[in-house]
A and B are shown apart, each in its own frame.
Chain A
Amino acid sequence: MLRSLLKLTWVEIKIFVREPMGVLGTVGIPVLIFLALGKTLGGAPEDASELPTFLGPQLPVFAAVFIAVGSVLSLVAIISIYREGGILKRLRATPLRPQIILSAHVLVKLLFTTVTIALLLLAGRRFFPVAPEASLFSLGLALLFTTVSILAIGFVIASVVPTARFAQPIGSAILYPMLALSGVLVSAEGLPAGWRVVANLLPLTHAVSLLQGIWTGAGWGDHLIEVAALILNFVICIALSAKIFRWE
Chain B
Amino acid sequence: MSERPVVQVSDLRKTYGSTVAVESASFEVLEGEIFGLIGPNGASKTTIMECVEGIRRPDRGLISVLGLDPHKDIYKLQHRIGVQLQEAQLQKRIKVWEAVDLWSSLYPHTVDGEALLEQLGLTAKRGSWFMTLSGGQKQRLFIALALINDPEVVFLDELTTGLDPQARRAIWALVTSIRERGKTVLLTTHLMEEAERLCDRVAIIEHGRVIEIDTPQALVSKHCPERGVVFSCDLRDAGAGLRRIEGIEAVTEEGTSYRLEGRGEDFVSHVMRFLSDNEIQVRDFRTVMPTLEDVFLKLTGHGIRD
A11-B98, A95-B79 known; A90 vs B90 contact (CB < 8 Å) = yes
Cβ-closest chain B residue relative to A87: B89
Are the C-beta atoms of B105 and A4 separated by less than 8 Å? Answer: yes
> A86 touches which one: B89, B92, B94, B102 (CB < 8 A)?
B89
Bound state CA distance, A3 and B101, in angstroms?
Answer: 12
Bound state CA distance, A91 and B244, in angstroms?
Answer: 64
**Residues of A within 8 A of B (CB-CB), count:** 22
Q: How far is the CB of B17 from chain A (nearest CB, A)?
A: 16
A94 at the interface (CB under 8 A from B): yes
Are the C-beta atoms of A93 and B55 separated by less than 8 Å? Answer: yes
Are the C-beta atoms of A11 and B90 separated by less than 8 Å? Answer: no
A89-B88, A90-B89, A95-B75 known; A11 vs B106 contact (CB < 8 Å) = no
Point out the residues of chain B lying under 8 angstroms from A11, CB to CB.
91, 94, 98, 102
Please encode chain A, from 1 to 31, with 1 for each CB lying within 8 Å of some chain B CB and 0 for all others. 0011001100110110011000000000000
Q: How far is the CB of A86 from chain B (nearest CB, A)?
A: 5
B53 at the interface (CB under 8 A from A): yes
B85 at the interface (CB under 8 A from A): yes
A87-B88, A92-B55, A93-B85 known; A3 vs B105 contact (CB < 8 Å) = yes
Bound state CA distance, A92 and B116, in angstroms?
Answer: 22
Bound state CA distance, A3 and B105, in angstroms?
Answer: 7
Q: How far is the CB of A154 from chain B (nearest CB, A)?
A: 19
Q: How far is the CB of B253 from chain A (nearest CB, A)?
A: 55
A19-B93, A95-B75 known; A90 vs B88 contact (CB < 8 Å) = yes
Are the C-beta atoms of A93 and B101 separated by less than 8 Å? Answer: no
Cβ-closest chain B residue relative to A92: B55
A93-B83, A93-B85 known; A15 vs B106 contact (CB < 8 Å) = no
* Chain A interface (Cβ < 8 Å from any Cβ of B): 3-4, 7-8, 11-12, 14-15, 18-19, 82, 85-87, 89-90, 92-96, 247
Shortest 8 CB-CB distances between A and B: which pairs? A90-B88, A93-B83, A7-B105, A18-B93, A86-B88, A85-B89, A86-B89, A15-B93
